[in-house]
Structure 1
């Protein structure tokens, strides 16, 4: 293949990214759970994210990072609400940049799906009791996720506080040197909970019709854009809940149109996470149809989900279904997969992605 799209540069706002094969955010559940460095990235995150940058990806997005302590998915999840965390992230940004990749961070609040046991082999699952290090969860409405603890409904003032916390975390991300910010509005976490009629039963300015349900997310995007005119902003959206009557792909398309007006630069198109009983049609490229639909609203989109070969990824781009490809678990198995795929597709940049120390290796 003369010059595969997958390994051509991509410009997001004014930031050029060396290729279109990106690292999706993946929680590591490995931050300190107490003390002054609670929620701060450590040597594990440095090696994990730095290694992914070394592997040839264009953009490495750090895992879901809570904007307030109670927004963490688990006690072992990352946060960006204080100076110690900001300084620890700056070290990681430097490490990823050293390998030629750009680096982003996913800002998040887990809402009613917060305060769970760390997702590590051998640990229990489900809500972590308050007496064992958990905390009271919050949500748009006091509607629990199936099998999890009852959340407390946020007041309108508390919703505004959450919006302000996202904006403050974005400021810290920029100060730490991140090239890109992704706002997490997918997978059943707080901003997705606001979007969905299943989890948002409010009748105030943050609930009711689709426009009011989208208000917290839109105010966050507008606020980040106003404060940082040149910062690339991605929004991760669950483009379909896979349940009749839920937040579906047409609702997501309307949202994408609004977000374009608000200053977002890209939609990271995923699905599901807010309804435990959803029947998801899992298979190769099973979420790409969502990316393709949302792309018609005028923003670039990223595709994700069971994309497992270089040819499959290139085909998605070549047929105009998406603008970039994000990988998750395949990169945990092989952090150098982008280099391998570049060789598979005979990309002109293949050898440039290989660190000099690794030139004796065979990648295809």
Structure 2
């Protein structure tokens, strides 16, 4: 027995797990001694009943690593525990499971995960349990790929020198059940229909009954996510997937209650949000990812039909707080091959849009957290997004300033409340720890990795 005043001589495990994993001495990714000089990036954020230990979120990243057919179709595996769990181990505040199909035909590829069946819940629970055992929150992105579904993983398409390769029935695909708001060969994502050089299947147009079934599928998947212990749900309405297809007048040519006007084109999203909020607890955060613009403003299609742009997103954003959405995850592009931007040529194009949206919310006196996603690869850049560049104050802001969506001192304000990072985590799972080190913050490492901590700068 340890003497009073001496360290406890034990190695306690995380409770309520069917296996042993040590409870960390200090939470990874959290400063040992938070102070007024701690960068906002490394301060906690409370969203409803959940608390992020810092402002760095692992964005959903498709891995194409589940069984395409059979009894294990769509189920998460040890691969997902290993990859997603490692990001949590190394200090991320919230780790998202990749785009997860709410219906079998809602997957991007036959190898994408799903949550349309109770049989898939246990795999999600196992991943969620491990993420949370390392001090992070677990999240899942619920999605339907629409006309971009039934394609092959990118490394399968690469040898064919094609950006996309159709998934046939022989490999678990569903060429006859690819769907969209508008159907026909001309409405395949690349516009090539069944041509030999095409990479996408032509969609069939969803009926109103189909749409109702899809809305319910989102709700049922959310229910399963809750049963699996997930902390945060995100609705995927970006990157040219089904909900984005409905939002855009370029891809939505319907003449019924789900097409035409802004109200009609956003109807499916509003119904999905409402359906999910009905089946999740009041204290559970709900995120929404949108393409803030599809970069089609100057195209001939936009001149004929209009397009989904930043003004459209700002108009949508005004509706979200009352619907129960807590955070807007601001991305862009993906709905049409004629989009006119090279997204990899700029590091801050999306964060500038995120800031514009945030300012519009402030002007309307609405509270909604904003997440910036993009190619963030430098610690200093990440810090500047959630802080006030050029402020004469210390590099940190009180966490409450962002939480309450108020201005920073001197009338200045952060560009976003959280940072969502994807590819950089794949290159460096220890990115959170490296960011802290570069910024000169003494943050906790996993207990098992303490002997290899970076030296203080």
Instruction: Structure 2: give runs of 5+ residues left out of the alignment.
Output: 1-35, 191-197, 389-413
Match of 2:4 in 1: none
Can you give the 5+ residue segments of structure 1 that lack an aligned partner in the other structure? none
1:361 corresponds in structure 2 to 452
| 2: CA distance, partners of 1:137 / 1:164 | 18
Moved more, 256-265 or 115-124: 115-124
Partner of 1:219: 271
Tell me what 1:259 maps to. 320
Provide the residue aligned with 1:280 in structure 2: 341
Task: Determine which of 294, 300, 303 is the counterpart of 1:241.
Answer: 294
1:141 is the counterpart of 2:210: no
Which piece of structure 1 moves more, 138-147 or 192-201?
138-147
* TM-superposition CA deviations, 1:193-221 (whole Å, max 9, x none): 00000110011111110111111111111
Moved more, 140-149 or 54-63: 140-149
Cα drift, residue 340 of structure 1: 1.1
CA distance in 1, matches of 2:141, 2:46: 19
Report the number of matched residues: 361
* Structure 2 counterpart SS, 1:303: strand
Quick check: 1:347 aligned with 2:399? no
Give 1:14-29 correspondences, 5 Å limit.
14-29=49-64
Tell me by how many angstroms 1:227 deviates.
Answer: 2.5
Residues 150-175 of structure 1: CA distance to partner in whole angstroms, max 9, x if unpaired? 10000000000000000000000001
The separation in 2 between residues aligned to 1:226 and 1:292, in whole angstroms, is 30
Counterpart of 1:158? Answer: 210
Counterpart position of 1:176 = 228
C-alpha contact 1:240 1:290 (8 A) present in aligned 2 = no
Do the aligned partners of 1:2 and 1:347 also contact (CA within 8 Å) in 2?
Answer: no
| 1:30 pairs with one of 61, 65, 70 | 65
- Matching residue within 84, 97, 116 for 1:81: 116
Distance in 1 separating the partners of 2:129 and 2:170:
38
Which structure has the larger Rg over C-alpha atoms? 2
Alignment partner of 1:301: what SS? strand
Separation of aligned partners in 1, 2:263 and 2:356:
20
- Kindly state the Cα deviation for residue 277 of structure 1 after the two structures are TM-superposed: 1.2
TM-score normalised to structure 2 length = 0.77
1:359 is paired with a residue of what secondary structure? helix
Assess if the C-alpha contact under 8 Å between 2:294 and 2:336 holds in 1.
Answer: yes
The aligned residue for residue 78 of structure 2 is 43
Q: Is the 8 A contact 2:222 2:279 kept in 1?
A: no
> Corresponding residue for 2:283?
230
Q: Distance in 2 between matches of 1:62 and 1:132?
A: 24
Segments ≥4 residues shifted beyond 6 Å: none
- Paired residues of 2:68 and 2:171 also in contact (CA < 8 A): no
Conserved? CA contact 2:88–2:135, under 8 Å: yes
CA 1:132/1:47 → structure 2, altered by over 3 Å: closer, same or farther?
closer
Partner Cα distance (1:207, 1:171) in 2: 28
**Root-mean-square deviation over aligned CA pairs:** 1.4
Distance 2:230 2:44 in 1: 18
Quote how far apart the aligned CAs of 1:17 are: 0.7
Match of 1:129 among 168, 181, 186: 168
The 10-residue stretch of structure 1 (266-275 or 283-292) with the greater mean CA deviation from structure 2: 283-292
Q: Is the Cα–Cα contact under 8 Å of residues 29 and 120 in structure 1 kept in the other structure?
A: no
Equivalent-residue separation in structure 1 for 2:165 and 2:317 (angstroms) = 32
